[in-house]
A and B are shown apart, each in its own frame.
Chain A
Amino acid sequence: MPELGRAALVLCLGLALYALVAGGYAAATRKRRLARSAQNAIFAVFASSVVAAIVLLAALLRHDFSFTYVAEHTSRRLPTPYTISAFWGGQEGSLLLWLLILTGLSALAIALARRTAADLVAWVVPVLALVASFFAFMLVAVSSPFATQVAPADGAGLNPSLQNPYMMIHPPCLYLGYVGLTIPFAFAMGALLARRTDELWIVVTRRWTLVAWTALGVGQLLGAHWAYVEVGWGGYYAWDPVENAALMPWLAATAFLHSVMIQEKRGMLKVWNVLLVTLAFCLSLFGTFLTRSGVVSSIHSFTQSPLGGWFLGFICLIAIGSLALILNRLPLLRSKTRMESLVSREATFLYNNLLLVALSLTILWGVIFPILTEAVRGEQITVSAPYYNFFLRIFGLPLLLLMGLGPLVAWRRASLRSLGRSFAWPAGIALAVGIVLLLLGAGSSWIGLLAYTFSAFVLGSIGYEFVRGTRARRALTGGPWLAAFSELVARNRRRYGGYIVHAAVVLLAIGVVGSSAYDKVSEQTLSAGESMSIGHYGLTYDRLVRQQGPNDTEFRAVLDVRKDGSRIGTLQSGKNSYPAEQQTSNEVGIRTDYLTGEDLFVITDQINPNGTIAFKVLVKPLVNLIWLAGFVFLIGSLVALWPSAVEQRRLADRYRELRVYARA
């Protein structure tokens, strides 16, 4: 069996290299049949990587410990879902998943676009093939999932902290995001290579970018929730390099999603767009590199990892190659139109882009700072939460404000009178909310108060847009409000889907600010029967329960919870002890108030031999809005993604127009 897997990977590499060379040659010499053959080779790489994936999956499910990978990441007692998730639990499997998703998406993108954008696809194929070749090469030569050994009696098992249902969904979701960014990048490079610097590549890849970006965003929120309920320190994001690894490309992709609209509408920012998509793709490669190379812990461990050097080399190759290509095509990327005013829709998009990129790059700087200082001074200087929080505020608050301003400002040039008209309502709402919050005592955190006032402004401006649109629609068609509203959204899915996503970002901001700027913490050691209080909650430690789990011993402290003096139930918080792995894990107790979105978060920090327990209790207001934001975000993305007949017609016209343009 391992031979089949290895053979499939070698075949992947061979086919990908063929697609690279033949595809490039065919595109350069305009040989149609050869270009077709290169496309088919990409389909075959996908088929071959499916075979490799099936071999690994079968080995995992059969507990075939003669596969080194299976022995190192699973054990016989491991429940089946986690045995499957071990596919991406280690380095080799993760790389195989990368290749599998990459070739799957590539095949689909080529199949969908080769009719409407044939000349583009001819050049996209070698770019995709280059990326696929790299990953296939890594799997064949550097980090093979099909290494074999004499089978031990049992495997090493999966780290207990990874044994969580989120292990099933969080990593694949993130990978879909990382890998998905390859598609817009490949089309951008394909467009430059083919000298088709019109909007075609953007029109073709809009959905691909949106899918990758959505997956990356949802994946991060899943990870945040996982950290929140499982790691048990009371937070959901710690600015860990591995977390930042996904945030950086997401921010760059967010900027890209916005700036391509400017190119679509006004034909501007062409150079910026190809630069941004290159940045987003490089950051996504860098993210994979970060999580897999060990470079973060030390520059020295970096040299121990066989993967690091190759990855760094490939990132450099992509970055330098793309930049050289962009420079070479610069004359073709001149805009036909230019920005007319600094107070216009385009200008707000530009500010939003600069802020997003600045935020992304400051995070990058923070991540590589220890590596740089170690290389230069021989001593690591690390930056931590204060650094990131500082820049999140500096760049994040203006971003929040812009999100409210953008939709209200007219394209090209906004007049003061129209601005005043559309600003009146949202600004009034924001002011009122700010004053009410100040009276309620939110002034304890100025940042929080500012963020909430801005949030109210954004929600006000989104609401205003919906009301204005619905009213206009109703004036046109008559009929009831609800029908006018749903028609409005259905006919402008991109726009109103976008507004829903904006609303999700506001919910996220409210949740993050609420749970960090207005939280309460209390630590106390209690004997059975003793009580403590925090905010409007009272807790009494009742008793300690001990029970035997399948592969662990579980201790649970049972607490009585009161709120504003009246009893509202019991809460369990404790620790699990895994003897085989010699490890304990915190099992926090969380009580959610679904009405206010507030969590009471109880950590059993230490169980003492004398029976007393050191508790750490947090009250986190509004934290559940973060998870709600995830759902709203997904809904907004789906609305923007959903195909509509109107849009299909518009697209068809667009393709025809662009074809005429290309011939001219």
Chain B
Amino acid sequence: MARPSPVRLVIALSVAAALAIFLLYVSVAGGTPSIQPSQLPGHKGDVALVGKVSGSPAGDAHADGLRFRIRDVSGSTSVPVVYTGSVPDLFRVGREVRVEGKLHDGVFVAKKDSLRTKCPSKYTTKKST
């Protein structure tokens, strides 16, 4: 009788190992929900808020915080945001941004340095000017 090939054993074991590692990871740290302002009610933990910058940004991101609003990409629901840390070059009213944090008394308090703008050149969705 032919001995089963060690290759199969290796592959079977590594598939099992990969699954185990994966479960380990998932149990330790999961992903972050990525939502828009209108979906914010009902979320208690940390989320990534995605939307367009609106309102008139004011305040100092390197002192008591930059204040602006984030609005649904296609909608009017918006939420006030307070943010500290580096402000990306592409940050501007109307741009799509993503910021992590959680809702605190009606204000979305962002984690330091978590503000990102979506690169306009890369994700070409439709003709944009």
Contacts and interface: CB of A to CB of B under 8 A. Distances in A.
A354 B125 contact: no
Nearest to B88: A233
A370 interface: yes
A341 B9 CA distance: 12
Interface in A246-276: 268
Summarize B's interface: helix, strand, loop or mixed.
Answer: loop
Interface in B6-58: 6-7, 9-11, 14, 18, 21-22, 25, 29-35, 39, 48, 50
B124 A583 contact: no
Interface size classification for chain B: 35 or more
A242 interface: yes
A72 B31 contact: no
A342 B62 contact: no
A616 B86 contact: yes
Contact of B62 (A89, A91, A292, A525): A525
Nearest to A68: B127
A72 B127 contact: yes
A394 B19 CA distance: 12
A575 B90 CA distance: 12
Given A354-B11, A387-B25, A584-B89, A382 B125 contact: no
Residue from B30, B34, B119 having most chain A Cβ neighbours under 10 A: B34
B126 interface: yes
A386 interface: yes
Interface in A348-362: 350-351, 354, 358, 362
Interface centre among B33, B50, B89, B90 (most CB of A within 10 A): B89
Nearest to B21: A394
Candidate in B5, B96, B125 with the most chain A CB atoms within 10 angstroms: B125
A369 B14 CA distance: 22
Given A390-B25, A605-B62, A292 B124 contact: yes
A394 to B, nearest CB: 6
Interface in A12-62: none
Contacts of A351: 10, 14
Contacts of B121: 89, 159, 161-162
Interface residues of A, number: 58
Interface stretch (A294-302, A403-411, A430-438, A556-564): A294-302
Interface in A598-654: 603, 605-606, 608, 614, 616
Contact of A354 (B14, B88, B127): B14
A297 B118 CA distance: 8
A381 interface: yes
Contact of B34 (A292, A358, A370): A370
B75 interface: no
B25 A606 contact: no
A339 interface: yes
B126 A341 contact: no
Contacts of B10: 342, 347, 350-351, 354
Contacts of B30: 381
Interface string A521-565: 001010000000000000000000000000000000000000000
A156 interface: yes
A80 interface: no
B60 A608 contact: yes
Contacts of A390: 25, 29
Contact of A382 (B34, B62, B86, B119): B34
B62 A341 contact: no
A603 B113 CA distance: 14
A379 B33 contact: yes
B76 interface: no
B128 to A, nearest CB: 9
A66 interface: no
A586 B88 CA distance: 9
B7 A339 contact: yes
Nearest to B61: A606
Contacts of A380: 33-35, 50
Contacts of A347: 6, 10
Contact of B33 (A381, A584, A585, A614): A381
Nearest to A576: B89
Nearest to A162: B121
A380 B9 CA distance: 37
B38 to A, nearest CB: 12
B104 interface: no
B125 A304 contact: yes
Interface in A114-131: none
A78 to B, nearest CB: 14
Interface string B99-127: 00000000000000000001111111111
A608 B126 CA distance: 37
A294 B123 contact: yes
Interface string A372-395: 010000011111101100110010
21 contacts: A232-B89, A294-B123, A297-B96, A297-B123, A304-B125, A304-B126, A305-B125, A339-B5, A341-B6, A347-B10, A351-B10, A358-B14, A379-B35, A381-B32, A382-B31, A390-B29, A391-B21, A523-B62, A605-B62, A605-B86, A606-B62
Q: Closest 7 interchain pairs by CB?
A: A294-B125, A380-B34, A614-B62, A381-B31, A383-B31, A301-B125, A382-B34
Interface of B: 5-7, 9-11, 14, 18, 21-22, 25, 29-35, 39, 48, 50, 60-62, 86-90, 92, 96, 118-127, 129
Given A339-B5, A341-B6, A383-B31, 9 more contacts: A233-B86, A291-B122, A351-B10, A354-B11, A369-B31, A379-B33, A380-B35, A382-B31, A382-B48
